[in-house]
Amino acid sequence: MRLAIISDTHVPARATGIPDWVRERADAADHVIHAGDFETPAVVDEVRSLADGSFTGVRGNVDPAGVDLPAVATVERGGVVFVVTHGTGDRIGYEDRVAAAVDEHGGDVGIAGHTHEHLDTVHDGVRLLNPGSATGAAPATETTMLTITVADGDFDVTLHRGE
């Protein structure tokens, strides 16, 4: 199973649209995960359509009430339970917050956004992934996303930079 992991698209306030290369990777995935800060319900619908509705998304700190998504979501794919949250708050304590959400929701891996910087680390025994900003929205210094290939409880993560 192939997952496309994106976050912090910030369309239309900080970006005009999702880049074609990100759209193509998301469209080719079996499931798309977005870790928040879409900015409009229309962008949620656009991302959902990229994987024919096989989608998990969470609300970010700049998403209005019309973005009807949970603050935390869990999704199991290929024997791995991913806990998705935006990671809202100060940069100090970010990893603690995301790892705590994974523990609280019984997951294996945490996926979060918010910082606009990609991250792949282990914190307090929990694997944490941040795809960065899929549009390069400020304060990002580059456009990034992750893909994950998962099967039988194992997974491989690949970072993709703007093409």
Q: Residue 99: which residues within 8 A CB-CB, separation 6 or more?
A: 110, 123, 124, 126, 128
Q: What is the C-alpha end-to-end distance of the chain, expressed in Å?
A: 23
Q: Are strands 144-151 and 2-6 parallel, antiparallel or unpaired?
A: antiparallel
Q: Minimal CA–CA distance to 2: which of 46, 22, 32? A: 32
Q: What is the mean pLDDT of residues 93-121?
A: 97
18 band by pLDDT with thresholds 50, 70 and 90? very high
Q: What is the mean pLDDT of residues 134-151?
A: 96
Distance CA 36, CA 47 (A): 11
Each residue's pLDDT tens digit, 47-79 = 999 988 899 999 999 999 889 999 999 999 999
Domain ranges of the chain: 2-161
**Domain made up of 2-161: CATH architecture:** 4-Layer Sandwich (3.60)
pTM of the model: 0.96
- Per the listing, tokens 């997952």 go with 3
Q: What does pLDDT average to over the chain?
A: 96
